[in-house]
Amino acid sequence: MMRIAVVHDYFTQLGGAEKVAEELYLMLPRPALFATVALPECMPAQLRGVPVQASWMQRAPKINKYYRFYFLLYPLAVSSMDLSDYDLVVSSSSSYAKGVRTGRDSMHVCYCHTPMRWVWSYESYSSRESFGLAQRTLLPALIRGLKQWDERASRQPDHFVANSKVVAERIRRAYGRCAEVIHPPIDIDRFHPSNEREDYYVVLSRLVSYKRIDLAVQACAERRRNLLVIGHGPDRRRLEAVAGPSVKFLGRASDRDVEYYVSRCRALIFPGEEDFGMAPLEVGAAGRPTIAYRSGGAVETIVENATGVFFDHQTVESLGDAIERFERQEWCSHSIRRHAEQFSIEVFQDRFQSFFRRIGTPVDMPNRRTSLSFAEAFQRERAS
């Protein structure tokens, strides 16, 4: 029987990468799950209770609070994880997991969400962070060392899979490697179109500076459009300071609340440059369109004037103009939903199964219902 391992960078936050790691685990037959750090409160819903083999970093002081400050230790933690006994290793990586040790006869496939953003785009990334003088002095040298490690680590996988054409091109430029493109899986059955429509836009995102939620907040405040900001993160206080009375911050919301607000909104506002961006398709599964910055993965998932509209400059004025253009158009919820179905979990599994066959490592994947039952069985076994 083939021994399979799934290794994710770290479970320290809940975002798109963690959703993909969850589906990678669920689609494979009886894999072991690894991560440098796995905080119980940050595990995706269907992985809670599944045993995670974490590195020694799990025991680092106050790791749940200061995991970002340990960034120089993650390469050491990944290097200490020996997966040489596994026949197939699938790493889910936007930073470190691709550097895990595997055996000479192992097949290592890296699902790359992006090359390290803060390493390969440090200047643009750091320009939006509130670094002090000491950080701005020391970080460039540390980042250079991390970049050298990342280049070496990129030689570990036998194959790269990218989540978008944009990321495939970044992989080519950064690592000199080719990558298959398999878009992330969208749980389209979670969302359903509603006949009810309410007068508000939504943002569905972690509140971090590079996602440019400030543009949505300011544009809606200036044009007196109602906006619900769903999500949590370190940028919330700054965003609240520039918000007007038409903008409400809901913080973390339950799945039920998210589904309710999404299905009844006018549209999602998606103002950042994302590697892929699952939110427009999740909202699309509810039959609602997206107003997005024309860059990154959004250009691969949004059909202009059919499932959404674009704005071309990351300015409040450009986004505001796009909102007004959006409001002059009619939108077909059923067509938007059908488009989202092209990115379903089943499509993701089918494309991965075809990919494994092409690289000579056929995997007998259980269907999704069986996978979920297997995850639930792990939880029951642990509770007994």
Using CA atoms, how far apart are residues 54 and 74, in angstroms rounded to an integer?
12
CA 39 to chain centre: 17
Does 125 fall in a domain? no
Does 106 fall in a domain? yes
Using CA atoms, how far apart are residues 384 and 375, in angstroms rounded to an integer?
15
Q: Are residues 196 and 93 in the same domain?
A: no
HSE-up of residue 250 (Cα within 13 Å, Cβ side): 19
Q: Are residues 210 and 320 in the same domain?
A: yes
Does 174 fall in a domain? yes
| Greatest distance between any 2 Cα atoms in the chain | 61
Q: Are residues 195 and 326 in the same domain?
A: yes
Q: Are residues 194 and 295 in the same domain?
A: yes
Q: Are residues 202 and 216 in the same domain?
A: yes
Domain boundaries, position 64: 4-115+154-185+344-383
363 and 28 Cβ atoms separated by less than 8 Å? yes
Specify the pLDDT at position 132.
Answer: 60
Q: Are residues 241 and 348 in the same domain?
A: no
Does 175 fall in a domain? yes
Q: Are residues 176 and 301 in the same domain?
A: no
Q: Are residues 275 and 205 in the same domain?
A: yes
Q: Is 193 helix (H, G, I), strand (E, B) or coil?
A: coil
Q: Are residues 230 and 351 in the same domain?
A: no
Among positive and negative, which fits the CA dihedral 247, 217, 233, 281? positive
- The separation between the first and the last C-alpha atoms of the chain, rounded to the nearest angstrom, is 26
184 and 279 Cβ atoms separated by less than 8 Å? no
13-32 as b/e: b if 16+ CB within 10 A:
ebbbbbbbbbbbbbbbeebb
Q: Are residues 293 and 312 in the same domain?
A: yes
Question: Along the 384 residues of the chain, how does pLDDT read in single tens digits?
Answer: 899 999 999 999 888 899 999 999 999 999 999 999 999 999 999 999 899 999 999 999 999 999 988 989 999 999 999 999 999 999 999 999 999 999 999 999 999 999 998 788 766 655 555 556 656 677 777 888 899 999 999 999 999 999 999 999 999 999 999 999 999 999 999 999 999 999 999 999 999 998 999 999 999 999 999 999 999 999 999 999 999 999 999 999 998 999 999 999 999 999 999 989 899 999 999 999 999 999 999 999 999 999 999 999 999 999 999 999 999 999 999 999 999 999 999 999 999 999 999 999 999 887 654 444 334 443 433 343
Starting at the edge strand found earlier in the chain, the sheet holding 32-35 runs 52-54, 32-35, 4-8, 88-93, 107-112, 159-162, 179-181
Q: Are residues 266 and 378 in the same domain?
A: no
Q: What is the CATH number of the domain that holds 173?
A: 3.40.50
Does 300 fall in a domain? yes
Using CA atoms, how far apart are residues 307 and 297, in angstroms rounded to an integer?
14
Does 133 fall in a domain? no
pTM confidence score = 0.84
Does 135 fall in a domain? no
Using CA atoms, how far apart are residues 163 and 153, in angstroms rounded to an integer?
19
163 and 352 Cβ atoms separated by less than 8 Å? no
Does 130 fall in a domain? no
126 and 64 Cβ atoms separated by less than 8 Å? no
Q: What is the CATH number of the domain that holds 244?
A: 3.40.50.2000
Using CA atoms, how far apart are residues 310 and 301, in angstroms rounded to an integer?
12
Structural domain count of the chain = 2
- Vertex 111: Cα angle to 106 and 113 (nearest 5): 150
Q: Are residues 31 and 73 in the same domain?
A: yes
Q: DSSP labels for 327-371? A: HTS---HHHHHHHHGGGBHHHHHHHHHHHHHHTT----PPPHHHH
